[in-house]
Amino acid sequence: MPSSPGMPDYRAYVSLHPSGVLSRTTHRLPVLLRSCHPEPALAVTVFVTALAVAADRGAAGSAAVAAAVLAGQLSVGWCNDALDAQRDTVCGRSDKPVATGELPPRVAAVAAGTALGLCVPLSLLNGAAAGTAHLAGVAAGWIYNLRLKHTVLSPLPYAVGFGSLPAFVTLGLPSPSWPAWWAVTAGALLGMGAHLVNVLPDIEDDLATGVRGLPQRLGRPACRWLTPLVMLAAVSVVAAGPPGAAETPDWVLGAAAGIVAVAGTALPSAAQSRWPFRAAIVVAGMAVAQLLLRGSDMT
């Protein structure tokens, strides 16, 4: 109802008053969290923090790792939704708050920039070398969003982003060192597998809106069978790469990962849902569990 002549417009007061701003921010927070790709952001943060603990980064060092990784993941997720706002709206993505109109693209873009700004000092808090490695991985995620997702090189940013995470952990140790080759290789393979399975449900929509990354060019049938092979390759590298023979826990985790990876994409109905991506997260968790068992061998 409009205010009477001579009476103050309390709606304007609420919108300008700090309490009104706080109310809008509080209202948008759940929407922002849904827009940041929460499942992969949380999974990557937990997995890398667990690696930091296993590598003896200590409580403070592991907390610094967690904060930096979370900020980087949030920045990439919000950047993705802000840039894809128009395309997601055309495709009717009801799971994207920007596409449904719940979140203005500008707000997602500001959130992405803010998270990226926080990620820089949080990363460097782990040391110059470790921070640089992590920021290179985050930059790869932004480059994917800005350009490479439309090209045949679309898996490359995922490989760089995930492959840089073991380096972020080991270069931040009191005695910094490069991670073992197999840790970096496994991370890169997990990243490429995550890319394939993340794109799987949206291939037709992507092609209709001009997104022609490598998975879109390969097509759904090829991606359905290539994804578990890439994920299993990552698990195999973790089992076979470290010195010494693989032990029973490695074989058990490897077998379980194989079952989950194949089941995640084998069913025709699964290819149209988000379950393949969740299965990939489970497989990644099993690979991380193997890394935890071999934590002392990472450097």
Q: Nearest Cα to 162, choosing from 186, 127, 182?
A: 186
199 has pLDDT over 60: yes
State both tokens at 216: 């879109």
Best mean pLDDT range from 131-145, 236-250, 278-292: 131-145
Q: In sequence order, which residues have a C-beta less than 8 Å from that of residue 105 and are 6 or more positions away?
A: 81, 82, 85, 98
pLDDT band at 41 (very low <50, low <70, confident <90, very high): very high
* Inside any domain, residue 226: yes
For residue 11, being part of any structural domain is answered with no
Q: What is the pLDDT of residue 7?
A: 42
- Kindly state whether residue 255 falls inside one of the protein's structural domains: yes
134 near 68, Cβ under 8 Å? yes
Residues 6+ apart with CB under 8 A from 247: 293
Q: Is residue 26 part of a domain?
A: no
Question: Hunting for tokens 């994920």 — which residue is that?
Answer: 231
Nearest residue to 133 via CA among 193, 177, 90? 177
**Full-model pTM:** 0.84
Tally of domains in the chain:
1
Decide: residue 238, CB within 10 A, 0-12 exposed, 13-18 middle, 19+ buried.
Answer: buried
- Does residue 27 fall inside a structural domain? no
Q: What is the pLDDT averaged over residues 11-36?
A: 59
Q: pLDDT-derived band of residue 112, with 50, 70 and 90 as boundaries? A: very high
**In the structure encoding, which two tokens stand for residue 202, read together?**
């949206």
Is residue 277, in this structure, part of any structural domain at all? yes
Binned at pLDDT 50, 70 and 90, residue 131 comes out as: very high
pLDDT for the residue numbered 176: 93
Mean pLDDT of the chain: 83
Domain that holds residue 210: 33-297
Q: How confident is the model at residue 127 (pLDDT cuts 50, 70, 90)?
A: very high
In a domain, residue 17? The reply is: no
Picking from 276, 144, 142, the residue whose alpha carbon sits closest to that of residue 202 is 276
CA distances from 56 to 59, 118, 174, 190 (A): 9, 25, 9, 23
Per-residue model confidence (pLDDT) at position 266 = 63
Which CATH number does the domain housing residue 255 bear? 1.10.600
Q: pLDDT band for position 93 (50/70/90)?
A: confident
Contact 187, 160 (CB under 8 A): no
157, part of any domain: yes
